[in-house]
Amino acid sequence: NAGVMQNPRHLVRRRGQEARLRCSPMKGHSHVYWYRQLPEEGLKFMVYLQKENIIDESGMPKERFSAEFPKEGPSILRIQQVVRGDSAAYFCASSRQGAYMNTEAFFGQGTRLTVV
Partner 1 sequence: AQSVTQLGSHVSVSEGALVLLRCNYSSSVPPYLFWYVQYPNQGLQLLLKYTSAATLVKGINGFEAEFKKSETSFHLTKPSAHMSDAAEYFCAVSGNTPLVFGKGTRLSVIA
Site residues, partner 1 (CB under 8 A) = 4, 33, 35, 40-45, 48, 56, 91, 93, 99-102, 104-110, 112
**CB within 8 Å of 111: residues ≥ 6 apart:** 6, 7, 8, 9, 10, 11, 21, 89, 90
- CB nearer partner 1, residue 72 or residue 100: 100
Shortest reach from residue 63's CB to partner 1, in Å:
22
How near is the Cβ of 102 to partner 1 at its closest, in Å?
A: 5
| Shortest Cβ 110–partner 1 spacing (Å) | 6
Q: Which is nearer to partner 1, 64 or 112 (CB)?
A: 112
- C-beta closer to partner 1: residue 6 or 115: 6
Helix (H, G, I), strand (E, B) or coil at 6: strand
Start-to-end CA span in the chain (Å): 36
Name the minimum Å distance from CB 41 to partner 1.
6
Closest CA to 92 of 113, 107, 77, 105: 107
The DSSP code for 1 is -
Q: Select 10 or 15, whichever has its Cβ closest to partner 1.
A: 10
